[in-house]
Amino acid sequence: MPTYTEPIASTPGARTGRSAFASTDLPNLDFLRAVAVLLVLFGHLTFFLGLTGLGPLNLVSSGLMGVKIFFVHTCFVLMLSLERQWKTQGAARLFGSFMVRRVFRIYPLSIFIIGLVAAFRLPMAELHREQFVAMPLHPMLVLSNLLLVQSPSTSILGPAWSLPYEMAMYLFLPWLFLLLYPNKSRWRVAAIWLLSVLGGLTFLAYLRGRTSSNFLLYVPCFLPGVIAYQLQRTPRRQLPAIVWPGVVIGVVLLYLWKQNLVSDSSIKGWIACLVLGASSPFFAQLSWRWLTEPSRLIAKYSYGIYLIHFFCIWLAFDRLHYVLPRAARFPLFAALVVMLPVALYHFLEEPMTLLGKRVAAKFESVSQDIKV
């Protein structure tokens, strides 16, 4: 029986001592992020092994769907984070503090892994069936990748193609927050999403069937996370938590369905992301530990999984193909894809994220002194 619930941002954290704005306090978002990274991992692994379809499902699109879900999740969580920062710091220092935190969150691990790819000239640029392909390197190409300003076609680490788009979206999120926060109207954010769709459709018409990857085509995938934030700010009917995993999986399956009425992957992605973003605030939080705990752990290490899984597939199934028997390759891959992200998180991601928070705090205090 549906009931009413208060906005997510005003409810106490599900775990004692945690911020109510952290994604780990929202098991539904942990589940969404876990599904996203598992789709990317599954899509790339099956494609390398030559499995491109499963009945009516196009498995090749799994990875791209996972990235689009990441965009929804990221914007929702960061809008909640911006609300917390606004309440404690005010608007004047919002942008600087936000960007400092995001830079320390995104860049250290990407620089480390991309740097290793460049230093050892690992073939991580493209993934083909049973083969990884390298890209000819030159200093400016490596520098653009380290700074995350490369185009998707010039990423020397394939999965890193999406990171420049994330960094670009970070530049807009604080201003979107300041635009939307003064009132709880849903029409303003809906109008922004429709404008982004119009821009995407115009770009698709310009392409005239040619394939391309452009930031405009992904803005309608980011904005449903902003829509989710705006929707959760008002009391709403709360649907049973058990339905949420079904909605997520159902949306994924419909996206992968080969006989979709909408054939263009960009438009399918916009619709899928809108459904996930607009529906997410209407569900009670998952409470089954057998589901929430694995989701929390996968979500926690998801950034490392996302950036390192190419290497795990390459080493286990390509580089050591003639060294290890088939029965040993999958256990090796499983061990690598679990242990490496955990190690990277505790030795690099977490320390640098905490450093970023300390730097942001100093930035805020300096800004306050200047203001005074």
At 367 the pLDDT is: 52
| Highest mean pLDDT pick, 81-85, 181-185, 241-245 | 241-245
What pLDDT score was predicted for residue 360?
Answer: 87
Distance CA 157, CA 307 (A): 8
**pLDDT tops 70 at residue 28:** yes
The residue-averaged pLDDT of 250-258 equals: 95
Q: Considering Cα of 71, then 307, then 18, then 35, what sign does the dihedral take?
A: positive
- DSSP alpha helix (H) spans, the chain: 27-48, 62-89, 94-119, 139-146, 163-180, 187-207, 219-231, 243-256, 265-279, 289-300, 302-313, 326-344, 350-371
- pLDDT of 18 over the 80 cut: no
Q: How many structural domains are present in the chain?
A: 1
User: How much is the average pLDDT of 27-35?
Assistant: 98
**Residue 21 and residue 31: Cα distance in Å, rounded?**
16
**pLDDT at residue 211, rounded to an integer:** 67
3-state secondary structure (DSSP) of residue 125: coil
Considering just the CA atoms, what is the radius of gyration of the chain in Å?
Answer: 21
CB neighbour list of residue 58: distance below 8 Å, 6 or more residues apart = 52, 256, 257, 258
| pLDDT at residue 1, as a whole number | 43
Q: Is pLDDT at 31 greater than 70 in this prediction?
A: yes
The residue among 303, 299, 336, 296 whose CA lies nearest residue 107 is: 303
Distance CA 25, CA 228 (A): 16
Write out the DSSP string of 101-120: HHHHHHHHHHHHHHHHHHHT
Do 59 and 43 meet the contact criterion of CB atoms below 8 Å apart? yes
pLDDT digits over 107-151, tens only?
999 999 999 999 999 999 999 988 999 999 999 999 999 999 999
pLDDT band at residue 22 using 50, 70 and 90 as cut-offs: very low
Tell me the per-residue pLDDT of 44-98, one tens digit each, with 9 for 90 and over.
Answer: 999 999 999 999 999 999 999 999 999 999 999 999 999 998 888 777 788 989 9
Q: Which residues, at least 6 apart from 174, have a Cβ–Cβ distance to it below 8 Å?
A: 82, 94, 95, 98
Rounded to an integer, what distance in angstroms lies between the CA atom of residue 150 and that of residue 95? 23
pLDDT at 366 over 70: no
At residue 284 the predicted structure's pLDDT band, cuts being 50, 70 and 90, is: very high
pLDDT of residue 265: 87
CB-side neighbour CA atoms (13 Å) of 218 = 24
Confidence label for 11 from pLDDT (cuts 50, 70 and 90): very low
Write down the residue that tokens 């309440």 correspond to. Answer: 87
Cα distances (angstroms) measured from residue 269 to each of 37, 71, 148, 251, 306: 16, 11, 23, 10, 19
pLDDT exceeds 60 at position 209: yes
Rama region for 12: left / alpha / beta (φ>0; ψ in -120 to 50; rest) = beta
Q: Which residues form the domain of 358?
A: 3-371
User: Mean pLDDT, the chain, as a whole number?
Assistant: 89
CA distance 29 to 36: 10
- Per-residue pLDDT tens over the stretch 260-270: 766 678 999 99
Q: Give dist(CA 212, CA 264) in Å, integer.
A: 12
Distance CA 192, CA 172 (A): 12
Distance between CA atoms of residues 131 and 127, nearest Å: 6
- Tell me: pLDDT of 306 over 90: yes
